[in-house]
Structures are given as structure tokens and as C-alpha cells.
Structure 1
Amino acid sequence: MQTLDLAILRTLLAAVESGSFAAAARRVGRSESAVSLQLKRLEEQIGEPLFVRSGRQMAPTGAGARLVDYARQLLALNDEALSSTSQNSIDGTVSLGVPHDVAETWLPAVIAGFRRSHPSATLEVTEGRSALLQSRLIDNQIDLAVVFSASRPASALWSANLPMVWIGRSDFALNRNEPVRLAAFDPPCFFRAAATTSLDRADIDWSIGYISNTLPDLWSAVKLGLGVAVRTPAALPSGLSVLDGRHGLPDLPPFQVSLCGPPGPSMRPIIASLRTILEDCLAVSIDAAA
């Protein structure tokens, strides 16, 4: 009976979750050719192809998808076993602040990874706007924060570019005789400011069609046609579309997604572990969304 290599299964998961061998290579710290060779060996062991190319992306075959399910279970058990039997297992409490978009998209994977690695630890999550989260980080009310900003913050431990996009109903059409109605949070809001600045520069009239304090409420308003919103492409909900240049809306600048926190030497082990999990998850998610 053959034995599956857990390291190769981690590479398989990275390839499936990121959608490409190049992104998987960055995630597992190997070259793209090494990733390709690992997965070729796994295909030879299974006796079935695991991927098919779909445009620029690699999609799992039926056999690949089934193996991915087992890989997640095997790796979760491996991580849990190591954590529970280690004399240096980490426990305690760590606090994390995230924007609404992160809470709706990437956070569940982070929580799942943290719980697998540290079953006896406690993760406290605060959801809020980036300006508030940065303030709480400065006041030592939270340990780490994921924030959105125009440039890299001084407290950033990790940072990456992500595009901003217009999101609305697929039947949206720009009418120059009417202002563009926006669905947005009340100020200060990073995305609202980007939307109004871009419209002003393009000399397009605008008005606020709907103000919300929660992301689900905002998406309900957009679906009802009360306005268009500016968010990240990773936050795109079902039933809505990214509105590109064909819809007449102006270009939006990219922005920084940053993980902020204390410098490395002063970081407690549990914070350092959560940082590693966050950086890994954010890098894969941003590769997929960019």
C-alpha cells in the first residue's frame, strides 16, 4: 500500500486554492518547476490527472477535487496531532481586527487554520473600519489588524496591492443626465472617498443613494438598484457584477491591504503564529482576486 506525502498534499491544496502553480509556489516557498514536479509525481501515484487548464487558471479534475477533500482532512489531523502533543503548544488569547470585507470573505479560513493549529487558544475578532482598527492597534486594544489604505502604513508587517472595483447590477447604465447614485458607508469610509474622488475627476455628477453601516445591508441596497458600490473584487456577492469601463464609470486606483501589528522581537508566540496564518491566507486570497 502506497503512502501519500503530506508535503505534496499541502502543495496540492495551495494550487487548488490559489488557482495557479505560480501562486502555489509562492505560498509553499518552492519554485514553480518544483511545484509542477511534485504534482506530476502525485498524479503518477494516483493514476489520474488532477488538473485541467481553464484559461490562465488550473482547475481540479473530478479525481483532483476528491483528493483535495481528503487532503484537507489529513492535513487538519496532522496539524491537530502536532499541536496537541507538543510540549511547546501555544495557548492564551490573541485579538484580531478586520474590515467588513475581510470578515465576509477571508476570515473563516483564518479562523479554521488557527483553531486547527491551536485548539487550546482563544481568538477574539473585532470587525470595523480600517481607521478605527488602526486606532485600537495603537492603543494596544487589539494585537493584529488587517487594514485598507492608500499607502503602506508604518505599522505594516505585510502588505500587498489589490484593485478597487465598481460593483452593481448587470443592467446598470450610465446616464449623463442623471447623477450616479452611490451605495456606501457613512464617512469616514476609504471606499466612499475613492468613489467620489474618481467621479469628480471624471466630471461625473453623483449623489448618495443609500447609506449603510453593514456590508450585507449595503449589498441588499445595490441589488435593489439603489446605488452602485466600490469595494474589493474579493467581496463580490452573488447576483451582482463588476462594472468595468464599458459601463462608463471611471477607473479606480489600487489600494494596500496590510497586516499591521507590533514588531517581530516584541511579538508573543501566539501573535506570531496568527500572523503566519494571516499572511498565508491573505497572499493566496489576493492572488486569486487580483
Structure 2
Amino acid sequence: MLRELKTFLAVVRHGTFARAGAQIGLTQSAVSAQIQRLEDELGFALFDRTGRSASLNAAGKRTVEVAQELLGVYARLATQGAVSENAGLLRVGAIASVQSSLLVGAIQQFRAALPGWRIRVSPGVSLNLLAQVDSGEFDLAVIIKPPFALPRELKWHLLVSEPFVLLVPRKLAKESWRVLLAREPLIRYDRNSFGGRLVDRFLKRMRINVNDVVELDELQGIVGLVAAGVGVAILPQAATLHIPSGVREITFGNDTFYREVGIVERAAADKQGAANNFVAYLRAMGASGKA
């Protein structure tokens, strides 16, 4: 039933069976089948279905909190063998762009200070990682700051602010960024991501109509497409990005905007010390500029 409960929460989180399936790697029919099995097991419907749409009913709304609690309790079982605060499992979520930078140094320091603790790092996009911290599946996550207020139960710690720049083939480096965005094909940072939403807001604020040709969330892949001459792209200056010699960065001057990367946490009581230590190491890495 745990798998079905996770799928149920994904549907609640993303709004439809189709969008939930796209985020967790299932077809819409597979999501529907899992929800049906869960409803059969529970003995009541979770959604009111009308045609192709489904909306959470009263019983479903009551089930959300219980499902989050059950998954959180299950996730904590891995630490039950620990008899003291000197041992356990710390569950960390992280966006791809920090896993080979500040996360490395933080893990190194954490392991030296608390060798009895294990760390499980799980990848993901910021929206999903935020929800997994909120549901208790992760103790903390390194994500892009959401464009909305966090629940009161969650804490936010800023690590780094990364300015966005326009990446262009070297031959276009001397032209105006406004002209290039209006004229050249745009390789767009995925609008489903928090970073991509920042780019979308910037373009709307600047009132620039662009010609999207590709949209993806893999930053280094976007750099590769710019290098191949497919188009231009607006990306943050992330420390892990490799910018080849054939690509140039154009700044936005007074119109520069930033991607804020930080930690969101909701530490369980039995992990408070370990989680706090890991957060401190991450913040030290961010302050040292090793992001």
C-alpha cells in the first residue's frame, strides 16, 4: 500500500493523474490503477470522478494528512536500529546542480564529525523535493527557493544567489541581449522548475516575445545545445556548469535577476542534532563560495 499512498499524494500534489504520472514516471492509466487499488483496499473513494476529471472528495482530503504521516513514520524506520544520537540515517534530497559542488564538501565534513551516521542523497526537481520534505520522506533538501511562501513548519536557509546570464554562441557575443532574445531561437529552462519560472517571469517583465525551440531542465544539456548553435539560453551562473570556449555569457546589467539555492528542512526530533550539523556544513560551504 505504500506505493499507492505515494502515488495518491503525487496526484494531490500535482492536481491530475496525468501530471502526477509524468512526475513519478508512470502512465496515466498506471496511476489510475494504483488509485483504484488503494480505494479498494481502504473501502471508500478518494476522488469524485466526472468524465475525464477527478477531484479530491471529503474522504480524500481527510486521507491526505494520514497518508503523509504513515509515509513519514515508514521513512523513519531505517533509523530505529540506532541507539544513540551518534548513529542513524540522514535522508537528503538535492537538485542536480549542487550534488557535485557544495554537497561534496558538506558530506565530507559530516562524515568526519559523525562517522556513525549514514547519508542517503536522492535527486529530484525542487518542487518534488520540497513536497517530500514536507511529507517527512526527507529530513532536508537543497533546492531552488520556491516562488511562493513556505508552510510554517518548514525552515529556509539561503546558501547561494546565482545571477542569470544569457548564453550565446561566441560569434554573437557583441550583440545586445534584448536583440538576441527577440531574434534568436531560445533553448528554454523548463518552466515546470522553479528556475524556469524565474526565466519566464523575467521575459514577461521585459515584454520580450521569444521563439522557443527546445525546453528542458538539464542545465549542462542546455549549454551543450548553445555550443552546438541550436539557439541562445538564459541560465544561472551555477558553479558546476562547464562553459565551453565556443560559448559566451552576456550579463543583463541593471535587469539582472537571481536564482536562490538553499536548504529546506523539517528535521525530526531524533535527528535534530545530525540534521543541524549537516545544515551548518552546507551553509559553511555556501559562505565559502564553493557552491
Task: Report whether the alignment pairs 1:192 with 2:188.
Answer: no
1:18 counterpart residue number: none
Residues 207-229 of structure 1, C-alpha deviation per residue, up to 9 Å, x if partnerless?
22323343332222222232313
Q: Is the 8 A contact 1:222 1:229 kept in 2?
A: no
Q: Separation in 1 of the partners of 2:207 and 2:85?
A: 58
2:39 counterpart residue number: none
Aligned residue pairs total: 198
Task: Report whether the alignment pairs 1:171 with 2:176.
Answer: no
RMSD: 3.2
Q: Which of 214, 217, 222 does residue 221 from structure 2 map onto?
A: 217
Q: Is the 8 A contact 2:164 2:235 kept in 1?
A: yes
Structure 1, unpaired ranges of 5+: 1-87
1:147 counterpart residue number: 143
Deviation of residue 194 (structure 1)? 1.9
One-letter amino acid of the structure 2 residue matched with residue 171 of structure 1: K
Residues 106/261 of structure 1: CA separation in 2 closer, same or farther (3 Å cut):
same
Residues 257/201 of structure 1: CA separation in 2 closer, same or farther (3 Å cut):
same
Q: Separation in 2 of the partners of 1:208 and 1:230?
A: 15
Residues 121/161 of structure 1: CA separation in 2 closer, same or farther (3 Å cut):
closer
1:254 counterpart residue number: 258
Residues 192/253 of structure 1: CA separation in 2 closer, same or farther (3 Å cut):
same
Task: Report whether the alignment pairs 1:112 with 2:116.
Answer: no
Q: Is the 8 A contact 1:180 1:205 kept in 2?
A: no
TM-score w.r.t. length of structure 2? 0.57
One-letter amino acid of the structure 2 residue matched with residue 230 of structure 1: L
One-letter amino acid of the structure 2 residue matched with residue 127 of structure 1: P
One-letter amino acid of the structure 2 residue matched with residue 237 of structure 1: H
Q: Separation in 2 of the partners of 1:157 and 1:265?
A: 18
TM-score w.r.t. length of structure 1? 0.57
One-letter amino acid of the structure 2 residue matched with residue 234 of structure 1: A
Q: Separation in 1 of the partners of 2:257 and 2:92?
A: 27
Q: Separation in 2 of the partners of 1:177 and 1:207?
A: 8
Residues 26-63 of structure 1, C-alpha deviation per residue, up to 9 Å, x if partnerless?
xxxxxxxxxxxxxxxxxxxxxxxxxxxxxxxxxxxxxx
2:280 counterpart residue number: 276
Deviation of residue 257 (structure 1)? 2.8
Report the 3-state secondary structure (helix = DSSP H, G, I; strand = E; otherwise coil) of the residue aligned with 2:201: helix
Note the 1:225-240 alignment, pairs <5 A.
225-226=229-230, 227-239=232-244, 240=247
Note the 1:8-157 alignment, pairs <5 A.
90-149=86-145, 150=147, 153-154=150-151, 155-157=154-156
Deviation of residue 122 (structure 1)? 1.3
Q: Separation in 2 of the partners of 1:281 and 1:177?
A: 34
One-letter amino acid of the structure 2 residue matched with residue 243 of structure 1: I
Report the 3-state secondary structure (helix = DSSP H, G, I; strand = E; otherwise coil) of the residue aligned with 2:222: helix
Q: Is the 8 A contact 2:163 2:259 kept in 1?
A: yes
Task: Report whether the alignment pairs 1:242 with 2:249.
Answer: yes
Q: Separation in 1 of the partners of 2:285 and 2:181?
A: 44
Residues 249-279 of structure 1, C-alpha deviation per residue, up to 9 Å, x if partnerless?
x824334333111269664322222122112
Q: Separation in 1 of the partners of 2:92 and 2:240?
A: 19
Q: Is the 8 A contact 2:139 2:275 kept in 1?
A: yes
Structure 2, unpaired ranges of 5+: 1-83
Residues 213/276 of structure 1: CA separation in 2 closer, same or farther (3 Å cut):
same
Q: Is the 8 A contact 1:152 1:256 kept in 2?
A: no
Q: Separation in 2 of the partners of 1:176 and 1:241?
A: 13
1:8 counterpart residue number: none
Report the 3-state secondary structure (helix = DSSP H, G, I; strand = E; otherwise coil) of the residue aligned with 2:171: coil
Deviation of residue 127 (structure 1)? 1.7
